[in-house]
Amino acid sequence: MNGEESEVMRIYRQPSTIQIMVVQKQKQNVEHFNYFGSMITNDARWTREVKSSIAMAKAAFKKEIFSAVN
């Protein structure tokens, strides 16, 4: 574990922060992060994952349409 780059997240239906100290430094609490292409959130819901996937699909679709027109 790299103490300098570590962050913490508590997965719980009602988000709350926790205090974890590594090498006498408090680690930053995060609300979400990407793990092998999936978005993990602290509220254990799929909402951000679905919205992120839709946004990526829209961007790819727009890129394909514009490249086909040119």
Q: What is the pLDDT of residue 15?
A: 64
Q: What is the mean pLDDT of residues 40-69?
A: 81
Compare 26 and 67 and report the one with higher pLDDT: 26
Half-sphere exposure of 24 (CA within 13 A, CB side): 0
The predicted structure's pLDDT at residue 24: 77
Per-residue pLDDT, 41 = 82
Give the pLDDT band of residue 70 (cuts 50, 70, 90): low
Choose among 3, 50, 2, 56: nearest CA to 25: 3
Q: Where are the domains of the chain?
A: 7-69
Task: State residue 53's pLDDT score.
Answer: 86
